[in-house]
Structure 1
Amino acid sequence: MAATVENMILFLAARPVTAPPVRPIPRRRRARFRPPARLRPLAPYRRIFAVPGTRAFTAANLLARLPMGMLSISAVLMIAGSRGSYALAGAVTATGLAATALAGPWTARLIDRYGQSRIAVPATALATLGSLSLLLCVHYGAPDWTLFASYAATATTPNTGGMSRARWAHLFRDDPAARHTANSFEQAADELCFLLGPLLATLLCTTLFPEAGTAVAAALLLTGVLLFAAQRRTEPPAAARTGGHTPTRSPLRLPGLPPLLLTFLCTGAIFGSLEVVTLAYADAHGIRSAGGALLALQAAGSGAAGLLYGLLRPTARPGRRFVRCLAAMASLMLLPLVAASTGSPAALAAALLLAGMATAPTMVTGMGLVQSRTPPGQLNEGMTLAVTALLAGIAAGSASGGWAVDHLPGPGAAYGVPAAAAALALTITLLTGRRRPHRP
């Protein structure tokens, strides 16, 4: 037995010692670095536009929305250039504004009830015919009353921005953060259209012929709405097709909405008075051609703030955020008043840029409140009422700003009108917010 063990040991010892085979370590694929969401500033916007169909309806809506900043100034330049009367041009556009305030909510109610594609196209076609009628009446020297009748026919123009916001609200009805980002983008788009629209209209009317602005605006409006209506898969369902009860109660009777519309009225007064006062200030300082550029700075500040606001994740309740935004706007609207008193156009330009930065966040939050306080079947009508309140405020603000320019000592003092309108908007919100419980 011992010999056997000894032979086994000698046998094992005589075997050559070899290392075990080394298996190659599989090479791992290098993981692709993806920065966290907080380091990707445009992630919220990429997220909303990743939904199929959103890019198509947004591009079409921007094309349809651009004429909103062109039609009014094109009509003024066309009528004043042909008839030699800014008073007549202002009266015609004011008539169209009043007609829009009356017809706009009814058009929006039909859109809610029967659908965007079914109502928006014929309504836009009628408005386009009104613009073309105005163009022909001016060109061929028709009586003045035909100008009023023609421009009043453009009141059926649908609220293109409201229809786009309604689609976002439908797509992200269960995602408040995405709705906030979408509303911020829409407000920035509004600012862009009202920034580029007047510049394009002025360029067309002054370099080509007086009717060019109206003709191009009408063509863009009709083309954009046709393309927008063709995007059916993102269209919210009409109240008449959902099988539910079609609401007949006006949103004006909904709790919480009338005070909000009154705030929008004051906000519109800020915009209207700021435009008139700024143009008068530029004219008084011998830089009349720079008046549009000064107003463009205010719109640029608002648009940039709107995009940045969309990147933030809201924490406070919408009602509280709205009060904070109004407080910021009331504070920043004092800057143009202070800057104008120095007599420096450069200081005023910087003040308008800063003052505009509170506009978009205020409008985004306010439109969000309108959406939350309006039933889904009346969303277009509710937002159109908000736009109507803004238009009425713009008209009142323009009149108040013009009166202040003529009666106050120096155009700089007239900047007290937009500052007072901002303070009034904040006061109304504070008073009405205490009377009723908060609704997000």
Structure 2
Amino acid sequence: MSSPYRAIFTAPGTRAFSAAGMVGRMPLSMLSLGIVTMISQVTGRYGLAGSLSAALALSGAVCGPQVSRLVDRYGQRRVLRPVCAVTVTALAVLLVAVRAGAPDWVYFVCVVCAGLTPSMGAMVRARWSAIHHGSPELLHTAYAFESVVDEVIFILGPILSIGLCTAWFAEAGPLLAACFLGAGVLLLTAQRSTEPPPHPRDQLGGGSALRTPALAVMTAVYVGTGTLFGAVDVSTVAFADERGHKALASLVLASYALGSCLAGLVFGLLRPKGQAAGRFLLGVSLMAVSMIPPLLVGNLWSLAGALFLSGLTIAPTMVTAMGLVEQLVPRAKLTEGITWISTGLAVGVAAGASLAGRVVDAHGASAAFAVPAVAAVVAVAVAVLGNRRLRPAREREEPRAHGGDAERTDGRGGRDGERDSREGVA
């Protein structure tokens, strides 16, 4: 491991909570895809499979920020354990219902309840921020490392989920995802020394973190990128199924994640220059361009190559986004702020999975790759229109930059003025 990556792990407990977070995040790449594979294998209905995946994502979009807001107020241990118990129970009931051939509405009730799944990535990144908030370079590397972990998860998760569902029994993928979630939450919450301290109600202040203009723009952009991700997953599974090699879909999707993983490792070693908002816009634009090749492929191997190239754009964009959230959202609402990014992704995944599933049913898998391409263009348009809101206040209000400390507060709740008090808490 190169020096910048060694440096972030010098603080006690960092290796342990990062490893626990990796275990707890495995459902991120396994659960939705496992449900799609399980339902399509049992019923043969991709429309139903995509709709269930969408329901799971939408439920997570509603519940996730509220869970994280409770975490900011009460702490990770007190909130995550009971929430995880509800999620695991709901998934267990879903698997029994599928095995028993229950009506469709039972499946939807179960996946809606499973939407309480906590955002483990936000929990881990909040711990990194609490430890390295005084060192932007170390925090950049830590966020890059966690993005790499995310991509490793997206390499391993589809292989496990799709592979087990197709080679063992249909419910095996979601079952293992539930086991990973339970184990990860227990391991993470057992580590009290690195848990960010809870913030009293008065520190949380005026309502949701989504009222921060920059966060609202980024969440909207991530709806588009989430649509891209959800559509790519469903389209790839269907593309492989049409060619008689459904189990190979996991390897094709793994190539997508591998590209992002490699890009994230390199990006974590760099010290990017210029405005983070400009880098974020560039990253989203490159993601859009990278969705052209999948429209043109005709076999699984060329699709794997096209998705590998597309994956190279993902991790740098994600790392830049996390850095922007850390800069622009008050520390007392950081976990919620990071979760709103995940919520934007979840809403997009819901739309992408559902739209792609219906296009597959009506026109075939190749046509479904138009869904992520269009979604990427929409994400770029939102990023361009909202780019000015993503810059720190002193860049947005340059004429007032030398007007004194009182003029350096903004819609983020006076970040500069409250920095000392928040760092005292953290």
User: TM class by shorter-chain length?
Assistant: 0.7 to 0.9
Taking CA–CA contacts closer than 8 Å with sequence separation of 6 or more, which of the two structures ends up with the larger relative contact order?
A: 2
* CA drift at 1:305: 0.6
* Matched letter for residue 263 of structure 1: V
Q: Under a length normalisation based on structure 1, what TM-score does the superposition of the two structures give?
A: 0.82
Q: Find the partner of 2:223 among 247, 265, 287.
A: 265
1:417 matches 2:376? no
**What secondary structure does 1:209 align onto?**
coil
- For the structure 1 residues 348 and 72, does the alpha-carbon distance in structure 2 shift closer, same or farther, using more than 3 Å as the test? closer
Counterpart in the other structure of 1:292: 250
Between the aligned partners of 1:393 and 1:236, the Cα distance in structure 2 is: 29
5 Å matches for 1:126-165?
Answer: 126-165=86-125
Counterpart in the other structure of 1:336: 294
Between the aligned partners of 1:392 and 1:292, the Cα distance in structure 2 is: 23
Q: Indicate if the aligned counterparts of 1:130 and 1:153 stay in contact, CA closer than 8 A.
A: yes
Q: Indicate if the aligned counterparts of 1:177 and 1:313 stay in contact, CA closer than 8 A.
A: yes
**What secondary structure does 1:256 align onto?**
helix
Between the aligned partners of 1:175 and 1:61, the Cα distance in structure 2 is: 22
Counterpart in the other structure of 2:211: 253
Q: CA RMSD in A?
A: 2.5
Q: Under a length normalisation based on structure 2, what TM-score does the superposition of the two structures give?
A: 0.84
Between the aligned partners of 1:204 and 1:399, the Cα distance in structure 2 is: 23
1:65 matches 2:25? yes
* Matched letter for residue 78 of structure 2: R
Q: Indicate if the aligned counterparts of 1:322 and 1:365 stay in contact, CA closer than 8 A.
A: yes
5 Å matches for 1:361-440?
Answer: 361-402=316-357, 412=366, 414-434=368-388, 438-439=392-393
Between the aligned partners of 1:115 and 1:393, the Cα distance in structure 2 is: 28
**What secondary structure does 2:66 align onto?**
helix
1:204 matches 2:164? yes
5 Å matches for 1:80-159?
Answer: 80-82=40-42, 85-159=45-119
Q: Indicate if the aligned counterparts of 2:324 and 2:390 stay in contact, CA closer than 8 A.
A: no
Aligned residues: 394
- For the structure 1 residues 68 and 278, does the alpha-carbon distance in structure 2 shift closer, same or farther, using more than 3 Å as the test? closer
* CA drift at 1:143: 4.3
* CA drift at 1:236: 0.8
Q: Indicate if the aligned counterparts of 1:177 and 1:314 stay in contact, CA closer than 8 A.
A: no
1:347 matches 2:307? no
* CA drift at 1:171: 0.6
Q: Indicate if the aligned counterparts of 2:222 and 2:344 stay in contact, CA closer than 8 A.
A: yes
* CA drift at 1:244: 5.4
- For the structure 1 residues 111 and 88, does the alpha-carbon distance in structure 2 shift closer, same or farther, using more than 3 Å as the test? same
* CA drift at 1:138: 3.0
Between the aligned partners of 1:83 and 1:346, the Cα distance in structure 2 is: 28
Between the aligned partners of 1:50 and 1:382, the Cα distance in structure 2 is: 26
- For the structure 1 residues 433 and 201, does the alpha-carbon distance in structure 2 shift closer, same or farther, using more than 3 Å as the test? closer
Q: Indicate if the aligned counterparts of 1:239 and 1:377 stay in contact, CA closer than 8 A.
A: yes
Between the aligned partners of 1:195 and 1:281, the Cα distance in structure 2 is: 18
Gaps (5+ residues) in structure 2? 396-426
- For the structure 1 residues 155 and 276, does the alpha-carbon distance in structure 2 shift closer, same or farther, using more than 3 Å as the test? closer
Q: Indicate if the aligned counterparts of 1:168 and 1:182 stay in contact, CA closer than 8 A.
A: yes
* CA drift at 1:173: 0.7
Counterpart in the other structure of 1:359: 314
5 Å matches for 1:173-188?
Answer: 173-188=133-148
Q: Indicate if the aligned counterparts of 1:259 and 1:428 stay in contact, CA closer than 8 A.
A: yes
Q: Find the partner of 1:275 among 224, 233, 256.
A: 233
* CA drift at 1:345: 4.3
Kindly, what percent of the aligned residue pairs are identical? 43
**What secondary structure does 1:156 align onto?**
coil
Q: Which moved more, 1:52-61 or 1:285-294?
A: 285-294
* CA drift at 1:292: 2.7
Between the aligned partners of 1:133 and 1:280, the Cα distance in structure 2 is: 27
Q: Indicate if the aligned counterparts of 2:231 and 2:356 stay in contact, CA closer than 8 A.
A: yes
Q: Which moved more, 1:223-232 or 1:80-89?
A: 80-89
Q: Find the partner of 1:52 among 9, 12, 22.
A: 12
Greater Cα radius of gyration, structure 1 or 2: 1
- For the structure 1 residues 285 and 215, does the alpha-carbon distance in structure 2 shift closer, same or farther, using more than 3 Å as the test? closer
Between the aligned partners of 1:247 and 1:92, the Cα distance in structure 2 is: 36
* Matched letter for residue 395 of structure 1: A
Gaps (5+ residues) in structure 1? 1-40
Between the aligned partners of 2:261 and 2:211, the Cα distance in structure 1 is: 32
